[in-house]
Amino acid sequence: MCSTVSSDGTISDAQPIVQGVENFQVLYGTDGVVAGTAPPTSPASAAATMDTVPDKYLRADQLAVAGDAVGTNANWRRVRSIRIGLVLRGPLNSAQDKVSQTLYPLSSALSSLSDPGTVVTTPADGRLRQVVSFTVHLRNDQGI
């Protein structure tokens, strides 16, 4: 879905970009980031915590450091990959059975009841659904 913000601050109604995407989740693979905390600023400490390989996947809000824009930007510079999870759905009555399902767009290992959308319980509406997830490695080392 996509919405826009006008110059007066009015937010438009969300419009679908791609039909059939029922759920879209993104996690950021980070290197040496502790959720909600600024990374070390000394070069020696920073080098000790990084190997350019993602060691944990975090939500966007977990990269933010309250009251510290520099720390937040430093965390974003440590993003090494993006994991995307989708639940795609077909038209009504495209499935053989009308059953409710519990789906995990990012896998059950990365799901959390405190993170809305990582566990999807579908209605028994007869739609065929498919979970698709993939990870993209980013080659944009920011020279930290």
Per-residue confidence in pLDDT tens, the chain, 144 aa:
788 888 898 888 888 888 899 999 999 999 999 999 998 876 655 565 667 789 999 999 999 999 999 999 999 999 999 999 999 999 999 999 999 999 999 988 888 877 888 999 999 999 999 999 999 998 866 555
**68, part of any domain:** yes
Q: Number of structural domains, the chain? A: 1
Q: Does residue 74 fall inside a structural domain?
A: yes
Whether 17 is in a domain gets the answer no
Answer whether residue 12 is part of any domain. Answer: no
Q: Which residues contact 53 (CB under 8 A, 6 or more apart)?
A: 31, 80
Cβ atoms within 10 Å of 74's Cβ, excluding its own: 20
- As a whole number of angstroms, the distance between CA 63 and CA 54 comes to 14
Is 122 within the bounds of a domain? Answer: yes
pTM of the model: 0.80
Domain range for residue 35? 22-137
Q: Please provide residue 48's backbone torsions phi and psi, each rounded to the nearest 5 degrees.
A: -70, -25
The answer to whether residue 142 sits within a structural domain is no
Does any domain span residue 16?
Answer: no
Q: Which residues of 21-57 are buried (b: 16+ CB within 10 A; e: fewer)?
A: eebebebbbbbbbeebeebeeeeeeeeeebeeebeeb
Report the C-alpha gap between 93 and 120 in whole angstroms: 19
